Amino acid sequence: MGLFSSFREARRRRILERSPIDDELWAWAIKEHKILGRIREGSGPWPNDRARLRELATVFLAEKRFDPVDGVELDDELKVSVAAQACLPLLGLDLDWYSDWSTIIVTPREYDVRKRDVDEVGVVHEYDDEFSGEAFDLGPVALSRVDIEASGWGDGYNVVIHEMAHKLDGRDGAYDGCPPLHRDMDYGAWREAFREAYEGLRSSLERPRGKRGGASRARRGPRIDSYAAESPDEFFAVACEYFFERPATLRSEYPEVYRQLVLFFRRDPTDY
Ligand SMILES: [Zn+2]
């Protein structure tokens, strides 16, 4: 598989030749982000991934537009941080997976959004919800600067990968926790793995827990962020965060989900 699989190849080649990410800035990104630093260079099953990531991030920066709001400051470090983390899931895919959107809105911090839901009996509920990021259908991605800076440390939290996962999920027009799968993959196996994990997580959160530390403590809490229990699409997005941030945790907690993600991303982050 070539680096880029589309007609945009020539233009992208030119971008790489004329405006690669500065050496010092790239070295900073690798050093500052634990999840990037562990990609080994020159050895392992994917010896060229660091160089490939830099190329993907370079083209990403040229093709996407950053739109700062509410006075947030955008420096080169922040842009490279977003680009590198956004492109990490694309190492085994390509940039065309992000071709249906172009703008990244950056807010200073989490922001409140007025939400409006209509319940099953037709009553409208309005409420404020706090967002650290958001992916709009066929539209921009919104990310908070504070949350971008909290991402990439290898602790399981990654707002950039989370929102990119929603974008991958929605490529087929449905935000349902299932992106368009490769031809050698099996939709039935994917849905079964994710359904079982999602339902298991939800029921584990519903069960009353034993007293903390006492002999009656029946079970430990979930090892991934319980936000994953919100919906199947949030489960997928959170699973992607763990896949790249804490792969061993996801693999031991949900081995079948992990296996499907290895097939989809065509990488196994525990092998780096
Ligand atoms: Zn989400």
**116, 142 contact by CB (below 8 A):** no
pLDDT band at 203 (very low <50, low <70, confident <90, very high): very high
Ligand 1 centre from 185 Cα, in Å?
A: 24
How far apart CA 250 and CA 258 sit, in angstroms, is 6
**228, 201 contact by CB (below 8 A):** yes
Q: In this structure, what DSSP letter does residue 179 have?
A: P
**pLDDT at residue 221, as a whole number:** 67
* Radius of gyration of the chain from its Cα atoms, rounded to whole angstroms: 19
Ligand 1 centre from 112 Cα, in Å?
A: 15
**pLDDT at residue 114, as a whole number:** 66
Residue type, 117: D
Length of the chain: 272
Ligand 1 centre from 42 Cα, in Å?
A: 34
| pLDDT higher than threshold 80 for residue 3 | no
Indicate the domain borders of the chain. 9-271
**241, 156 contact by CB (below 8 A):** yes
Question: Rounded mean pLDDT of 60-75?
Answer: 94
Ligand 1 centre from 70 Cα, in Å?
A: 22
Cα-based angle 195, 197, 200 (whole degrees, multiple of 5): 105
Ligand 1 centre from 150 Cα, in Å?
A: 16
**9-271 maps to CATH 3.30.210.10:** no
Residue 101: alpha-carbon gap to chain centroid: 15
Question: Rounded mean pLDDT of 134-155?
Answer: 91
How far apart CA 272 and CA 34 sit, in angstroms, is 12
pLDDT band at 153 (very low <50, low <70, confident <90, very high): very high
